[in-house]
Amino acid sequence: MAARLDVRKTYKLYVGGKFPRSESGRSYEVTDAKGRFVANAAKASRKDARDAVLAARAAFAGWSGATAYNRGQVLYRVAEVMEGRHAQFAEEVARAEGLTAAKARAVVDAAIDRWVWYAGWTDKVAQVVGAANPVAGPYFNLSVPEPTGVVAVLAPQASSLLGLVSVVAPVVAGGSTCVVLASERRPLPAVVLGEVLATSDVPGGVVNLLTGVTAETAPWLASHEDVDALDLAGAAPLPGEDPTVDWGALEAAAAATLTRVVRPAGSGASGEADGAVEPDWTVLPDGPRRVLAFMETKTVWHPKGR
Amino acid sequence: MPTFEYAPAPESRAVVDLQPSYGLFIGGEFVDPVDGTSMKTVNPATEEVLSEVAVGGAADVDRAVKAARRAYERTWSRMPAAERGKYLFRIARILQERGRELAVLESLDNGKPIRESRDVDVPLAAAHFFYHAGWADKLAWAGLHGAALGPDGVPLPLGVAGQVIPWNFPLLMLAWKVAPALATGNTVVLKPAETTPLTALLFADICRQADLPPGVVNIVTGAGATGAALVGHPDVDKVAFTGSTAVGREIARTVAGSRKKLTLELGGKAANIVFDDAAIDETVEGIVDGIFFNQGHVCCAGSRLLVQETIAEEVVGRLQQRMSQLRVGDPLDKNTDVGAVNSAEQLQRITDLAAVGDAEGAQRWTAPCPLPENGFWFSPTLFTNVSPAHTIARDEIFGPVLSVMTFRTPSEAVTKANTTPYGLSAGIWTEKGSRILWMADRLRAGVVWANTFNRFDPTSPFGGYKESGYGREGGRHGLAAYVKEA
């Protein structure tokens, strides 16, 4: 009997809870770690990025208004659904990153556990960083963290799944919504993650995933007036390669509307620009700093009296 | 209602000993600027020249940053934290001891009423030093998430902080900047505002009296170019700025691509929202305090009054009555409510924006108060028939001008309040607790005052959402701006 011809998947964008192709009609060739053709991914355009920001903004009121307990359960649900697709993720990660099957499985384990870790943070951050302030007067004075709004995320280029989850989970844990540029050369695990998000009670528009050329799309997001914060993790190039993205220029573009910027990791002195490096995402985060990076502090005053 | 006559009650100027000219305070001593230029600072209430101050150039900034670096490396970062704290306690005490002198000088240079400089600016400045003094040796317990820790588990300072402050609260903004920077172990180069350098120069003398090690605090007076040189200096680790959103944007652009840490406290266009069940007398006082405090030169001023439609007429009537009682004039008179506008330039801006209000069809009402002949003055002003699209409802005027709009439902109030790129503060006036909390959750602003307005405290974090900037000043949260990230 002849071997069965497998049914291949069309890898598309994930925007507003739906899976559109790029409005531009463009795609680009994605290869595995050895350079062999795997699939054509959608090559997102400026218009796709703007549509994604609209979707993220539309989803913000509902997601930020949900209780922290509810958000925690939704994030935990993502981990549950990922677990069911463990083998599929391992295969995608192995192909994209050139890992052995065992190593790819370990990466997927860590990515699932990272969702669980951040799921637990949703209803803790306000207690950990909030404050009842002892002002010198007869006032009730309380500070609480609130989500920043719409966050544009440049996902890490090397760590296509664990790195991606490590930057997306904290944004949504805090109640913000996001537009994510997946790893340019390793985008397929992100598309599969979109399929998981679509089926795990995450409201459409809370996470929007774009594949394509980072240097082409990132400037539109950095300068977008309705983007409140920008995570430049993915400005770091693949190991051994030259950067394709000038993170300083993106930060400068973000300055036009005082967009909050999380710089890529790097080790330069204060006063000089330096290269961005991708951190080791297998290391457990040292606290909720990535959650807090996308939260604002609101302070409420009220007089006390009889 | 009886009308009270007030006899003049001027505070004495004798307590202030003004020098004819001042140099730059660098490395613990006053030095002449390298390029030798200077500017005059005037009393905005009389246009009298108070003194000449140096204009720091790039070479002066460089000298100051070097002095701060040296002090950081040789003295301040090596000192036990408890000793650092004790210096701050000393400074706080001297601020109190010389409180009246500082208040009079502030009113002279800035134009704000002595009642405010004496009862608000100076006591709050001292309180900021007291509060942060206590943090100096307790940073390990401040819950600073993501901070880089030294071998003893204490969050590490950044190094040299470049700080640029505005003219509306000259000494208080100095305290908001210098106290947390020093408490966390940084040294500073501070650039006071062009029009209000004098209390910062007096603060230099306070550092001398406190025996603060040379170079820990450096004060470089000057204008925009001086500030730009400081912000762009490659050996500055941290930039902190309070001022306009336009300049804040420029600074964010300058710092982009570097590893300098940045906090910005920028403009605002706060909505002060009044519901029909509000306690009306307190509310009217709160509205007045919200917009006419410090001549409206307040980034968090309640410059957009949103009144529930059913009581709009009554509120506006009472407001006009109250505004008619405001005493505008000599900042040094203890009975003065509204002082002088800080500069001719700012007066022009206020005048121009108010004229745009007329041109766009809003209805102007001006408090019938006599104004002095010399100096820079603008009568408390209120605009009705304002729509959210009007310039005076969108642009920060930074003066004693209130734009009044109406709403019907709480949802409409929230929508109108949030329709601005700013997000610094907001006010809510209602007797209904659940409505306060519902509103407070939805207002996109860093500070929400409910049944009060313009309250400040060193323990209470202050700062904005959106284009009002980022980072917080005050409280545990404010410390994060001055420690190194891991």
Determine the topology of domain B271-450 in CATH.
Aldehyde Dehydrogenase; Chain A, domain 2 (3.40.309)
Q: What distance in Å separates the CA atoms of residue B79 and residue A40, rounded to the nearest whole number?
A: 61
* Chain B residues whose beta carbon lies within 8 Å of the beta carbon of residue A141: 457, 459-460
Q: Which residue of B has its CA nearest to A256?
A: B249
Q: Does B317 touch chain A (CB under 8 A)?
A: no
Q: Could you report the per-residue pLDDT of B219-260, keeping only the tens digit for each?
A: 999 999 999 999 999 999 999 999 999 999 999 999 999 999
| Superfamily classification of domain B13-266+466-482 | Aldehyde Dehydrogenase; Chain A, domain 1 (3.40.605.10)
Do the chains contact at A271 and B472, CB–CB below 8 Å? Answer: no
Is residue B412 predicted with pLDDT exceeding 80? Answer: yes
Q: What distance in Å separates the CA atoms of residue B192 and residue B219, rounded to the nearest whole number?
A: 7
Do the chains contact at B256 and A143, CB–CB below 8 Å? Answer: no
Numbered ranges of CATH 3.40.605.10 in chain B: 13-266+466-482
Please identify among residues 209-238 of chain B the ones whose CB lies closer than 8 Å to any CB of chain A: 233-238
Give catalytic residue positions of B: 265, 299
Q: What distance in Å separates the CA atoms of residue A226 and residue B137, rounded to the nearest whole number?
A: 41
Within-domain flag for A11? no
Of B237, B460, B468, the CB nearest to A141: B460
Alpha-helical (H) ranges within B336-409 are 344-359, 391-394
pLDDT at B3: 67
Please identify among residues 72-91 of chain A the ones whose CB lies closer than 8 Å to any CB of chain B: none
Residue A171 · residue A179 · CB < 8 Å: no
Terminal Cα-to-Cα distance of chain A (whole angstroms): 88
Within-domain flag for A8? no
Read off the tokens for B233.
């200096």
pLDDT at B1: 57
- Structural domain boundaries enclosing A163: 27-303
Reduce the DSSP state of residue B426 to 3 states and report it: strand
**Nearby residues of A20 by Cβ (< 8 Å), 6 or more positions away:** A12, A13, A42, A48
Do the chains contact at B252 and A228, CB–CB below 8 Å? Answer: no
For residue B165, with 0-12 CB atoms within 10 Å meaning exposed, 13-18 middle and 19 or more buried, which class applies? buried
Do the chains contact at B249 and A247, CB–CB below 8 Å? Answer: no
Q: Which residue of A has its CA nearest to B447?
A: A299
Q: Could you report the per-residue pLDDT of B180-199, keeping only the tens digit for each?
A: 999 999 999 999 999 999 99
Within-domain flag for A244? yes
HSE-CB at B132 with a 13 A cutoff on CA atoms is: 33
What are the pLDDT tens digits along chain A (306 aa)?
A: 678 999 999 999 999 999 999 999 999 999 999 999 999 999 999 999 999 999 999 999 999 999 999 999 999 999 999 999 999 999 999 999 999 999 999 999 999 999 999 999 999 999 999 999 999 999 999 999 999 999 999 999 999 999 999 999 999 999 999 999 999 999 999 999 999 999 999 999 999 999 999 999 999 999 999 999 999 999 999 999 999 999 999 999 999 999 999 999 986 554 445 789 999 999 999 899 999 999 999 999 999 998
**CATH number for position A67:** 3.40.605.10
Distance, in angstroms, between A85 CA and closest chain B CA?
33
Is residue B154 predicted with pLDDT exceeding 70? Answer: yes
Q: Which helix (H) or strand (E) holds B227?
A: helix B224-232
* Chain A residues whose beta carbon lies within 8 Å of the beta carbon of residue B452: 139, 301-303
Q: Does B130 touch chain A (CB under 8 A)?
A: no
Q: What distance in Å separates the CA atoms of residue B338 and residue B112, rounded to the nearest whole number?
A: 7
Q: What distance in Å separates the CA atoms of residue B17 and residue B201, rounded to the nearest whole number?
A: 12
A274, A300, A306, best to mutate vs chain B, most B CBs in 10 Å: A300
Q: What distance in Å separates the CA atoms of residue B393 and residue A98, rounded to the nearest whole number?
A: 58
pLDDT at A57: 98
Distance, in angstroms, between B210 CA and closest chain A CA?
26
Residue A33 · residue A97 · CB < 8 Å: yes
Backbone angles phi, psi at B26, to 5 degrees: -135, 130
Q: Which residue of A has its CA nearest to B486?
A: A286
Of B257, B436, B466, the CB nearest to A258: B466
* Chain A residues whose beta carbon lies within 8 Å of the beta carbon of residue B468: 258
Q: Does A256 touch chain B (CB under 8 A)?
A: yes
Do the chains contact at A272 and B421, CB–CB below 8 Å? Answer: no
Q: Write the DSSP assignment of B254-305 as a string of letters.
A: HHTTS--EEEEE-----EEEE-TTS-HHHHHHHHHHHHHGGGG--TT---EE
Of B466, B467, B477, the CB nearest to A143: B477
Within-domain flag for A48? yes
Q: What distance in Å separates the CA atoms of residue A264 and residue A237, rounded to the nearest whole number?
A: 11
Read off the tokens for A165.
């989850």
Q: Which residue of A has its CA nearest to B457?
A: A135
Q: Which helix (H) or strand (E) holds A127?
A: helix A125-129
B424, B465, B483, best to mutate vs chain A, most A CBs in 10 Å: B465
* Chain A residues whose beta carbon lies within 8 Å of the beta carbon of residue B451: 302-303
Within-domain flag for A9? no
For residue A6, with 0-12 CB atoms within 10 Å meaning exposed, 13-18 middle and 19 or more buried, which class applies? exposed
Please identify among residues 272-301 of chain A the ones whose CB lies closer than 8 Å to any CB of chain B: 272-274, 286-289, 292, 296-301
**Nearby residues of A48 by Cβ (< 8 Å), 6 or more positions away:** A13, A15, A20, A22, A23, A24, A42, A210, A212, A217
Q: Could you report the per-residue pLDDT of B468-485, keeping only the tens digit for each?
A: 999 999 999 999 999 999
Read off the tokens for B370.
């006599």
Read off the tokens for B343.
């500069």
Q: Could you report the per-residue pLDDT of B299-349, keeping only the tens digit for each?
A: 999 999 999 999 999 999 999 999 999 999 999 999 999 999 999 999 999
AA letter at B119: D
Do the chains contact at A271 and B236, CB–CB below 8 Å? Answer: yes
Do the chains contact at A301 and B448, CB–CB below 8 Å? Answer: yes
% residues pLDDT > 70 (chain B): 99
Read off the tokens for B108.
């002279």
Total domains in chain A come to 1
pLDDT at A271: 46
* Chain A residues whose beta carbon lies within 8 Å of the beta carbon of residue B467: 257-258
For residue B462, what is the DSSP state? B
Do the chains contact at A139 and B264, CB–CB below 8 Å? Answer: no
Q: Does B388 touch chain A (CB under 8 A)?
A: no
Within-domain flag for A39? yes
Q: Does A101 touch chain B (CB under 8 A)?
A: no
Q: Does B482 touch chain A (CB under 8 A)?
A: no
Backbone angles phi, psi at B277, to 5 degrees: -100, 10
Among the listed residues B370, B325, B323, B379, the one whose alpha carbon sits nearest the alpha carbon of residue B347: B379
B241, B477, B484, B485, best to mutate vs chain A, most A CBs in 10 Å: B477
pLDDT at A1: 64
Q: Does B62 touch chain A (CB under 8 A)?
A: no
Reported ipTM: 0.96
* Chain A residues whose beta carbon lies within 8 Å of the beta carbon of residue B448: 298-301
Numbered ranges of CATH 3.40.309.10 in chain B: 271-450
Q: Could you report the per-residue pLDDT of B355-409, keeping only the tens digit for each?
A: 999 999 999 999 999 999 999 999 999 999 999 999 999 999 999 999 999 999 9
Q: What distance in Å separates the CA atoms of residue A30 and residue A39, rounded to the nearest whole number?
A: 5
Q: Is the dihedral of CA B81, B82, B88, B90 positive or negative?
A: negative
Q: Does B149 touch chain A (CB under 8 A)?
A: no
Q: What distance in Å separates the CA atoms of residue B266 and residue B256, rounded to the nearest whole number?
A: 17
* Chain B residues whose beta carbon lies within 8 Å of the beta carbon of residue A252: 252-253, 256-257
Terminal Cα-to-Cα distance of chain B (whole angstroms): 64
Do the chains contact at A270 and B476, CB–CB below 8 Å? Answer: no
Average confidence score pLDDT of chain B? 97
Distance, in angstroms, between B121 CA and closest chain A CA?
15
Distance, in angstroms, between A197 CA and closest chain B CA?
27
Q: Does B470 touch chain A (CB under 8 A)?
A: yes
Query: Which pairs with CB-CB distance under 8 Å and at least 24 residues apart come from A36-43?
Result: A38/A95, A38/A188, A39/A8, A39/A9, A39/A10, A39/A11, A39/A188, A40/A10, A40/A11, A41/A11, A41/A187, A41/A188, A41/A191, A41/A211, A41/A212, A42/A11, A42/A12, A42/A13, A42/A210, A42/A211, A42/A212, A43/A211, A43/A212, A43/A213
Distance, in angstroms, between A220 CA and closest chain B CA?
17
Q: Which residue of B has its CA nearest to A146?
A: B441
Do the chains contact at B259 and A268, CB–CB below 8 Å? Answer: yes
Q: What distance in Å separates the CA atoms of residue A54 and residue A160, rounded to the nearest whole number?
A: 25
CB atoms within 10 A of CB A84: 11
* Chain B residues whose beta carbon lies within 8 Å of the beta carbon of residue A134: 459
Q: Which helix (H) or strand (E) holds B242?
A: strand B238-242
